[in-house]
Amino acid sequence: MEIIFHSHHAAISPRLQQRAEQSIHKLVERMGRAVDAVIRFEEDGPTRRVEVLLHAPRGRRLVARGEGRNFGPALTAALDRLSARVDRVRTRRAVARKAGREGDPATKTAPRRRLARA
């Protein structure tokens, strides 16, 4: 699996990159498999933002964002949110598998609408 780091007006330490990489590998182990991951670090004044995008099979994209005054807490917040999304995907997949309906087009629901953020 490929992990891509983007830094926008930000200097990222090797230790922070290593921590992000290890955390992504742990999440991928729990999820099963993934195509790749993109981790974006942005610095805008006093705010530090981290966005983690995980490409899962079948075109699924799991996105999580975190903000903070430093990159460490922002990364932790983003990874916590991504972990919750991975758990949700695993639960839905397990329920569908248990019901014997995984892959059945009649049981698929419409995609959720994303709320606009200000």
Domains plus CATH for the chain?
A: 2-97 (3.30.160.100)
pLDDT band, residue 106 (cuts 50/70/90): low
Question: What's the pTM?
Answer: 0.76
Nearest to 81 by CA among 103, 108, 49: 49
Q: For every residue of 68-84, which 3-state class applies, written as one string? A: ECCHHHHHHHHHHHHHH
The pLDDT, as a whole number, for residue 76 is: 96
Residue-wise pLDDT for 35-88, tens only, equals: 999 999 999 899 999 999 999 888 889 999 999 999 999 999 999 999 999 888
Q: Is 95 helix (H, G, I), strand (E, B) or coil?
A: helix
pLDDT band, residue 103 (cuts 50/70/90): low
Rounded-to-integer distance, Cα 118 and Cα 105, Å: 35
Q: Is 112 helix (H, G, I), strand (E, B) or coil?
A: coil
C-alpha gyration radius of the chain: 16
